[in-house]
Amino acid sequence: MYEESIDGFFGDYGGKYIPEILHSAIDELDSAFDFYIHDKDFLDELNILRRDYIGRETPLMFAERATELLGGGKIFIKLEGLANTGAHKINNAIGQVLLAKKMGKTRIIAETGAGQHGVATAAACAKLGMQCVIYQGEVDVRRQQPNVASMELYGAKVVAVKTGSRTLKDAVNEAMRDWATNFETTHYCLGSALGPAPFPDMVRTFQSIIGEEVKKQCAERNIQIDSLVACVGGGSNASGFFAPFFKDEKIKLYGAEGGGTGPEIGNNASRMVGTSARDGIMQGFKSRFLVDDDGQAQKTSSISAGLDYLGISPQLAMLGKTGRITFEAIRDNEALEAVNFFAKNEGILMALESSHAAAYAMKLAPKVPKDKAIIINMSGRGDKDVFITSPVFRPEEWKEFLKSELKRLEENKDVHEKY
Ligand SMILES: *Cc1c(COP(=O)(O)O)cnc(C)c1O
């Protein structure tokens, strides 16, 4: 549909570098996706879920005050944060879980890092009546308790992965292992435009609803697009937002990576900007990765948990290399400033991931002609980040709050017995 891969490859990147035991699972998924993505019943059901469950279409909001303050192109914000569960991840989760159900699967597994994809998958499974197991690194389980609590409320089983660095990439490995053994009953719902083919094509396709709506909304309202700006972790929100515009070279595409605290290796998560990353093959696909000379994973750092994966969508890596997408590393402090700016001037609380895109747009806007639009994809809303933003913006009050909450819990040891 939109610059699909050729046999799983986007130029040099992509492919399916998988062990023999995964071949059957991947082949089955490949043909099921090819079939259902053209099947009218599947698409009708998907569109009803998008409308009534996710809450699509999401608004395209004119950021009038931000536009005046920045003094350049008209700023618009695509409010994906208004999607049910608070971010774009549900677009992909609902698509894949529905596909799995059509394939006759009864069980869904997924990896999660910060927990956003785990929450979306658990919710989609509850909605569609599927069993759900989420693999999450033990370190992440410990520091992402609010999302673990939501996943469990939706009925998912959260498995803490104790291998390797006990974070996202280890959770991916564990999910792959489970899938290889159980694929007859089980679908692996991968969370971003990553992994072996056909996942990058499939995830982009389910997320393309974002860009399709933007295209329609701009046509209806006669908005002349100059540029689109998205944050890039694994690359799913950017892929889906950009995809309908890939071939329209008049429209500029910008990707914001996690610039962390600076360009030194280990202090950021930028795979396209700077010299930290290199080409490599990991987790079933070829792309750009933050690995050292021996191919070992480097430490990554970003204030936003969704932007700190060490790899990137093979398609976005290719489009970065050809120059179709321009990347910029946005630092933690710039992302925080953008949260503040859009909260104060537009009444919009962005996720820290999305605010990387917003910060990039704030730099670009003054150079865009006044009659043209620069569109930010707000991939998610910022409520989830209160444990990160509050300690920065109001550390003393937050510390007191946490202490008093702990005291309240300890004094009410029997609190759960009340209900
Ligand atoms: C997970 C996440 C991201 C990063 O993932 P992509 O696959 O790059 O889109 C960005 N924003 C939010 C709100 C997220 O939850």
| pLDDT of the chain, 419 residues: tens digit per residue | 578 999 999 999 999 999 999 999 999 999 999 999 999 999 999 999 999 999 999 999 999 999 999 999 999 999 999 999 999 999 999 999 999 999 999 999 999 999 999 999 999 999 999 999 999 999 999 989 999 999 999 999 999 999 988 989 899 999 999 999 999 999 999 999 999 999 999 999 999 999 999 999 999 999 999 999 999 999 999 999 999 999 999 999 999 999 999 999 999 999 999 988 999 999 999 999 999 888 888 999 999 989 999 999 999 999 999 999 999 999 999 999 999 999 999 999 999 999 999 999 999 999 999 999 999 999 999 999 999 999 999 999 999 999 999 999 999 876 666 67
Distance from residue 20's CA to the centre of ligand 1 (Å): 31
Count CB neighbours of 5 within 10 A.
Answer: 19
397 tagged catalytic: no
DSSP character at residue 270: -
- Dump strand ranges (E) for 11-156: 13-14, 60-62, 74-79, 107-112, 131-137
Q: How far is CA 206 from CA 37, 152, 160, 240, 302, in A?
A: 9, 25, 28, 7, 26
Enter the tokens of residue 339: 């949260």
Enter the tokens of residue 322: 């050809």
Distance from residue 233's CA to the centre of ligand 1 (Å): 6
Enter the tokens of residue 211: 């860009």
Residue 207 contacts residue 200 (beta carbons within 8 Å): no
- pTM passes above 0.85: yes
Ligand 1 binding pocket, CB closer than 6 Å: 87, 89, 116, 192, 231-238, 306-307, 351, 353-354, 379-380
Distance from residue 306's CA to the centre of ligand 1 (Å): 5
Q: Which of 80, 111, 213, 334 is catalytic?
A: 111
Instruction: Work out which ligand 1 atom sits closest to the CA atom of 113.
Output: 1
3-state secondary structure of 156: coil
Pocket test for ligand 1, best of 353, 360, 384 (most atoms within 8 A of CB): 353
For residue 253, give the nearest of 272, 231, 273, 227 by alpha carbon.
227
Residue 199 contacts residue 193 (beta carbons within 8 Å): yes
Residue 96 contacts residue 128 (beta carbons within 8 Å): no
DSSP character at residue 247: T
Torsion, Cα of 168, 174, 179, 185 (10° steps):
-100
Instruction: Work out which ligand 1 atom sits closest to the CA atom of 354.
Output: 11
CA–CA separation, 165 and 97 (whole Å)? 29
